[in-house]
Structure 1
Amino acid sequence: MLYHYQIETNEHDVVALTDQVKDSVEKSGVKSGLCVVYTPHTTAGLTVTSFWDPKGFEDIQDEIRRLVPTRIDFKHQHDTPQDAAGHVKSSLIGISLTFIIEDGTLLVGHSQGVYFLEFDGPRKREYYVKILSDGMER
């Protein structure tokens, strides 16, 4: 099963996807398998992190901006310097995540959440959740 979602982001936004991903798993009826979360964007990323402290989201974006600052000397200047930096950030962070489904539940730690990271924005974005059964339904 494939589920498609659309979101609107702000500049350097962090958007929680956990509830929609868990709902997709539940709707699928799959008891055992894999869940892949994917975004088809080159200036965004997906990550898993703790949801306990919202300031942690700021830390993540701050550190990513520190590691890959927006600068005018990128060779790629298709759009803006921020866009060029976004491509590098997306390549480093990644655009997909894979999770185990067991007993019809997405296996994530008690403080883990799934998040969309915007490296450009504001933008209209999309992401997909693909549920794969391993055929070991109980």
Structure 2
Amino acid sequence: MTSSWEQKTFKLKTRTKGCYLVTDEIVANLPELKHYKVGTLNLFMQHTSAALSLNENWDSDVRLDMNDSLDRIVVEHEDYRHSAEGPDDMTGHIKSSLVGASLTIPITNGRLNTGTWQGIWYMEFRRFNHNRSIVATINGLKE
């Protein structure tokens, strides 16, 4: 086995405001994963009004409830000083800071080693379609 690092950038499918399960989309963009016996995958969202989360992968109601809950915690209004791209601009930045821009997930035998009910979420906080890029960094031992 040899130690290795790989890094690539890819775009997620364009989506509007909401929480989306994207585990399969992430894995499809990273065929390199299958060559790692043990390691880690770091995913970094290159944007300030979207986020990544590791959360429920089975019941889509959880994603709807999360979206609704974040809207109650960070209320959209026009009193924010920063509104260069509209009234949902600053709320997107706040939500992104609360949730986070990166995830680190273990790799075991060529697969992401997540829990039974865990999946990777892309959380879009802006109302209109946006193109979002992910930087994926893989490090570990290759077979």
Report the TM-score, using the length of structure 2 for normalisation: 0.85
Give the residue type in structure 2 aligned to 1:129: A
Give the residue type in structure 1 aligned to 2:10: Y
Structure 2: gaps spanning 5 or more residues:
1-5
Query: Aligned pair 1:123/2:139, yes or no?
Result: no
Query: Aligned pair 1:3/2:8, yes or no?
Result: yes
Change over 3 Å in CA distance of 1:77–1:25 after alignment to 2: closer
Report the TM-score, using the length of structure 1 for normalisation: 0.87
Deviations 1:76-95 (A, max 9, x none): 22221201110011011101
Taking the TM superposition and a 5 Å limit, the aligned residue runs for 1:25-64 are 26-28=31-33, 29-64=35-70
Work out whether residues 42 and 105 of structure 2, in 8 Å CA contact, stay in contact via their aligned partners in 1.
yes
Structure 1: gaps spanning 5 or more residues:
none
Work out whether residues 26 and 105 of structure 1, in 8 Å CA contact, stay in contact via their aligned partners in 2.
no
Distance 1:89 1:69 in 2: 10
Number of residue pairs the alignment of both structures matches: 135
Deviations 1:22-41 (A, max 9, x none): 34565241211110111101
* Aligned-pair CA distance for 1:127: 1.5
Distance 2:131 2:25 in 1: 17
Runs of 4+ displaced beyond 6 Å: none
Work out whether residues 101 and 107 of structure 1, in 8 Å CA contact, stay in contact via their aligned partners in 2.
yes
SS at match of 1:8: coil
Distance 1:56 1:26 in 2: 29
Work out whether residues 20 and 63 of structure 2, in 8 Å CA contact, stay in contact via their aligned partners in 1.
no
CA RMSD, aligned part only? 1.7
SS at match of 2:80: coil
- The residue aligned with 1:18 is 23
